């Protein structure tokens, strides 16, 4: 993954291994879509090593940034990272379980896809495992169509609901509401997209919470390529393209102003290019 190695316990290694395997399968599915569209686009992989909050090399792990720019996926990033170290004192006070001890471990996968066709929804997916004085999973997925389609929205939510219901019937209504609250742009008074699920601080039973997190990843891998394939050849007008670019501006505003994952990456010595891969390749503001 990166050139820096440190010892992981059994739970940390299991989470890291699965996140990296999910990355590999998602990238293969997305490359297959590009191939079927007559494109030879492939992911470009760049490894990086973590630096601490003072900017010094710490031997604290790193990650791999994978980005593809193709005919269907105008820009998609699928990143994995496994890092450890200590939060800065101010930031530690904002992190679950780090108030009295700033040391942390984090591993996860983060994905954002911006599509070439305005009728294919953009998407975000992230799942992660964090260790401070507590251990927990977090993550979720949300659909971000410039031009919403009821069938796409229903199918995406149905896939996530099925993943939730298999583990706890209270998960979906709770995590859907959490996503609706989180993926909202207060200064615009609009939601970023058509929602999905968002969860955090899922702690206690590692096996059960890890199984649920895997189910979220598998649900995403199953449903999103299906949505892409049925919409990627839809006719799009210049007006549709203009609508998409304006919508991307709102997406960028959310990620730069409100997104906690962006802040976490910047505050923990993450790779700037990997952190900001979520930004769209082209956007407009009017």
Rounded Cα gap, residues 176 and 77, in angstroms: 24
**DSSP labels for 61-124?**
EEEEEEEE--SSEEEEEEEEEEEEEE--HHHHTTSTT-SS--EEEEEEEEEEEEESSTTSPEEE
Beta partners for 73? Answer: 115
**DSSP labels for 261-280?**
HHHHHHHTT--HHHHGGGS-
Catalytic residue among 53, 84, 124, 171: 124
SS3 at position 281: coil
**Is residue 11 within 8 Å of residue 17, measured between CB atoms?**
no
What order of strands is seen across the sheet that includes strand 44-51? Answer: 44-51, 57-68, 73-86, 103-115, 122-131, 135-144, 195-202
Rounded Cα gap, residues 47 and 66, in angstroms: 9
φ, ψ of residue 227 to 5 degrees: the values are -65, -45
Q: Hey, what's the torsion of the CAs at 167, 201, 274, 269, to 10 degrees?
A: -150
114 catalytic? Reply is no
Beta partners for 44? Answer: 67
The catalytic residue positions are 124
């Amino acid at each position: 993954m990166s050139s820096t190695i440190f010892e992981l316990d059994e739970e940390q290694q299991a989470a890291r291994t699965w996140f990296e395997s999910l990355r590999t399968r998602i990238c293969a599915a997305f490359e297959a879509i590009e191939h079927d569209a007559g494109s030879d686009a492939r992911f470009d992989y760049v490894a990086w090593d973590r630096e601490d909050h003072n900017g010094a090399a710490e031997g604290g792990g790193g990650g791999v940034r994978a980005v593809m720019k193709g005919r269907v996926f105008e820009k998609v990033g699928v990143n994995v990272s496994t890092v450890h170290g200590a939060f800065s004192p101010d930031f530690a006070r904002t992190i679950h379980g780090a108030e009295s001890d700033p040391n942390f471990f984090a591993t996860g996968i983060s994905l954002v896809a911006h599509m070439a066709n305005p009728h294919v929804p953009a998407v975000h997916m992230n799942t992660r495992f964090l260790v401070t004085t507590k251990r927990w999973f977090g993550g979720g997925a949300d659909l971000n169509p410039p031009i919403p389609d009821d069938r796409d929205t229903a199918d995406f939510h149905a896939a996530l609901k099925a993943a939730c219901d298999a583990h706890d019937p209270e998960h979906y209504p709770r995590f859907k509401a959490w996503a609706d609250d989180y993926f909202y742009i207060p200064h615009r008074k609009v939601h970023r997209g058509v929602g999905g699920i968002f969860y955090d601080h899922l702690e206690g039973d590692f096996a059960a919470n890890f199984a649920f997190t895997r189910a979220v990843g598998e649900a995403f891998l199953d449903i999103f390529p299906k949505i892409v394939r049925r919409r990627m050849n839809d006719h799009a007008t210049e007006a549709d393209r203009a609508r998409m670019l304006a919508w991307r501006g709102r997406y960028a505003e959310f990620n730069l102003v409100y997104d906690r994952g962006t802040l976490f990456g910047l505050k923990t010595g993450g790779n700037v290019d990997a952190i900001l891969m979520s930004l769209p390749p082209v956007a407009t503001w009017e």
